[in-house]
């Protein structure tokens, strides 16, 4: 029996929408929620999303679907929510993991690059959270949101230079706190998980191809190594569960101690 199965299948009867769910942290979050009994919908722009949904359904015996959508497009997100409601049920849990990264000196970053990072990471978070909350309010029901921010919201991690990414994730944490206060009276609980360095497709190029930078990252992590997507997913699943009913507006850092130094 897995750790998730020992959690008493606390998400049974729940439908969860996970953006960026085709791979990486988003996929790990969807799989963790499925292991705890939830039906899951993976919202992503990647063509691999359907195969990811099939794998989750086969591994965990739940219903899982993929919906192709752009988190920066309100019409696309609204259509995706409607499709999830039709194919599964209206989602009562939202995990917003879709995002992008940019490593670029601030002196060289173009406005187009800056705008794209802010639009995907920050505006996309607002668009998806707003659409989800509107649907829950229209249904007269509450819900739970867990956004994926980053430790980069509060520190400048080095040696890479990523001012646009850092600013976007600081915005996500600020947005989460604001939405949490505004929506708590509506029965919609909002929190975030802020990962440190995690072995994903976005970081694998450094971890496998840039030994000097990878060593610099690890040297600053008290736990001794980068995390795994499942480390983040465990925290997300807990925040999304009824066990966290009194946790509101928090940004939980999962970084192996990096920001404690």
Q: How far apart are CA 107 and CA 248, in angstroms?
A: 38
Active site residues: 165
In the numeric block, the tokens 């707003």 are attached to 130
How large is the C-alpha radius of gyration of the chain? 17
Cα–Cα nearest to 80, from 99, 96, 59: 96
> H-helix or E-strand containing 195?
strand 188-195
Cα–Cα nearest to 251, from 20, 3, 72, 259: 259
What helix, strand, coil percent values describe the chain, rounded to 5? Answer: 50, 15, 35
Q: Which residues contact 104 (CB under 8 A, 6 or more apart)?
A: 113, 161, 162, 163, 164
Q: Assign 199 to helix, strand or coil.
A: coil
What would the two tokens of residue 121 be? 């990471």
Q: How far apart are CA 80 and CA 58, in angstroms?
A: 23
């Amino acid at each position: 029996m897995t750790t998730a199965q020992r959690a008493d299948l606390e998400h049974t009867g729940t439908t969860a929408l996970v953006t960026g769910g085709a791979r990486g942290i988003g996929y790990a979050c969807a799989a963790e929620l499925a292991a705890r009994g939830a039906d899951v919908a993976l919202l992503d722009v990647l063509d691999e999303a359907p195969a990811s949904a099939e794998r989750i359904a086969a591994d965990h015996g739940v219903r899982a679907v993929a919906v192709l959508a752009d988190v920066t497009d309100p019409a696309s997100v609204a259509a995706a929510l409607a499709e999830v409601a039709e194919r599964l049920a209206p989602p009562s849990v939202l995990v917003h993991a879709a995002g992008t990264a940019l490593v670029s000196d601030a002196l060289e970053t173009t406005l187009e690059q800056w705008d794209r990072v802010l639009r995907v990471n920050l505006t996309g978070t607002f668009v998806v959270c707003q659409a989800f909350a509107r649907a829950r309010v229209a249904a007269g029901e509450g819900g739970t949101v867990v956004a994926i921010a980053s430790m980069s919201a509060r520190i400048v991690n080095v040696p890479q230079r990523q001012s646009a990414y850092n600013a976007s994730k600081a915005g996500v944490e600020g947005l989460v706190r604001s939405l949490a206060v505004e929506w708590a009276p509506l029965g919609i609980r909002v929190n975030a998980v802020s990962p440190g360095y995690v072995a994903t497709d976005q970081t694998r190029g450094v971890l496998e191809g840039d030994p000097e930078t990878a060593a610099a990252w690890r040297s600053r992590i008290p736990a001794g190594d980068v995390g795994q997507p499942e480390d983040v997913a465990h925290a997300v699943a807990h925040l999304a569960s009824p066990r966290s009913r009194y946790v509101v507006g928090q940004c939980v850092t999962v970084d192996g101690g990096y920001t404690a130094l």
